Amino acid sequence: MKTLLVTGGAGFIGGNFVLDLLAQGGFRVVNLDKLTYAGNLDTLAPLKANPDHVFVQGDIGDKVLVERLLAEHQPDAIVNFAAESHVDRSIDGPAEFVQTNVVGTLNLLERALAYWRSQSLERQDAFRFLHVSTDEVYGSLGPLGKFTEETAYAPNSPYSASKAASDHLVRAFHHTYGMPTLTTNCSNNYGPYQFPEKLIPLMIQKALRGEALPVYGDGRNVRDWLYVRDHCRAIQRVLEAGRTGEVYNVGGDSERENIHVVKVICELLDRREPLADGRRRESLITYVKDRPGHDRRYAIDSGKLQRELGWAPQETFESGIERTVQWYLDNQAWCGRVTDGSYRMERLGGA
């Protein structure tokens, strides 16, 4: 039985990771999450009676709490998902991003270092600190080329700048103190349990209600899309077999323009749930003023992860988006509780 301290495990990717891991058996998860607006205990409802899941509401920046959790649970690894993750919010208020993504990660690293040093040599060798990051740290691409692990960092938003800073700290803890760290930089994720401020769940929800579908700029910005469970499998693979001190890029080989993504969602929903008034959902697309500093294109080369660790995505964009649309249709109760805010009541002791 391996014990993992997972941070941010009530969020989108962390939640999927914890659910997938515990479904496999052989793992115990201590899930540390602050439950910001992005943390949702509804996602973890299937684990309510699972003795291998310990949920702790708290901040990765809380020295005493992190120290206590490490001492009490003696984890074999730490997987750090906790972050402020929404680019638009980082434009409106960068300070919170620096606080959690940089200062919080530094605290986690410092506490992890002290814990790691206190372990036997055998446990030190086996320990891993895996930091989950984004391809946005590499900046924007022209029409050609892909980000590799050697691409120079050039973050363009407060979000990506804060993630870049945290990646550098993780790297420094390996090179300076010899801590067994791993970093994964992943492209855009989509799939079940994503907070509906992000492109795909936002468009699904609005399109279902027959509302205008706001698309930034000319809609031709390109992102590489990865189904979230493929990302979770990649993280687990890196945790098990990645070389410490290394960085692994994770991507879906699925570059799509934003406007294409929105049109596919419209088509899938028109087929499954036609609008009562017979309108085609594509007619709801409305172009809005572009996001400031909007990166034009991201594309990621995940060849290293594929060659060294034998990982490959199982979903194509077409299969993954179909699953995702179906998941949102089947889980309108989860979505409804996010939209009306009642998902936040549970932590306050409400219904």
d(CA 149, CA 78): 22
How far apart, in whole angstroms, are the C-alpha atoms of residue 322 and residue 257? 17
The residue within the footprint of ligand NAD, chosen from 75, 104, 191, 242 (CB under 6 A), is 104
Window 123-142: contact mask with ligand NAD (x via CB under 6 A): ---------xxx--------
Burial class (CB in 10 A: 0-12, 13-18, 19+), 144: exposed
Determine, following the binding rule CB under 6 A, whether residue 100 of this chain makes contact with ligand NAD.
yes
Residue 222 CB, shortest distance to ligand NAD, in Å, is 15
CB 254 within 8 A of CB 317: yes
Q: Is 20 a catalytic residue?
A: no
122 catalytic? Reply is no
Tokens, residue 143: 């029409």
The SS3 of residue 296 is coil
Q: Give the one residue of 13, 235, 247, 265 binding ligand NAD; rule: CB under 6 A.
A: 13
First to last CA, the chain: 34
Contact 14, 6 (CB under 8 A): yes
> Which of 78, 85, 104 is CA-nearest to residue 39?
85
Give the DSSP H/E element, type plus range, for residue 75.
none
Considering the rule CB under 6 A, would residue 157 count as an interface residue with ligand NAD? no
User: Is position 19 an interface residue for ligand NAD (rule: CB under 6 A)?
Assistant: no
Instruction: Quote the least distance from Cβ 223 to ligand NAD, whole Å.
Output: 9
Q: C-beta of 100: minimal distance to ligand NAD in Å?
A: 4
Catalytic residue among 59, 136, 230, 255: 136
Listed residue (14, 18, 17) closest to 38, CA to CA: 14
- Residue indicated by tokens 């910005």: 221
Q: How many CB atoms are located within 10 Å of the residue 292 CB?
A: 9
Smallest gap from residue 187 Cβ to ligand NAD (A) = 7
Question: By CB under 6 A, what part of segment 180-219 binds ligand NAD?
Answer: 186, 188-189, 195
Minimum distance, C-beta of residue 301 to ligand NAD, in the bound complex (Å): 15
Rounded CA gap, 245 and 130, in Å? 10
Instruction: Name the segment binding ligand NAD (CB under 6 A); options: 83-91, 199-207, 214-222, 260-268.
Output: 83-91
Known active-site residue 328:
no
- Tokens for 52? 């291998």
Q: Which one is catalytic: 33, 59, 135, 315? A: 135
- Choose one: 82-90, 252-260, 314-322, 333-341; the region binding ligand NAD (CB under 6 A): 82-90
Residues that bind ligand NAD (CB under 6 A): 7-8, 10-14, 32-36, 38-39, 59-61, 81-85, 100, 104, 132-134, 163, 186, 188-189, 195
Active-site residues: which are they?
135-136, 159
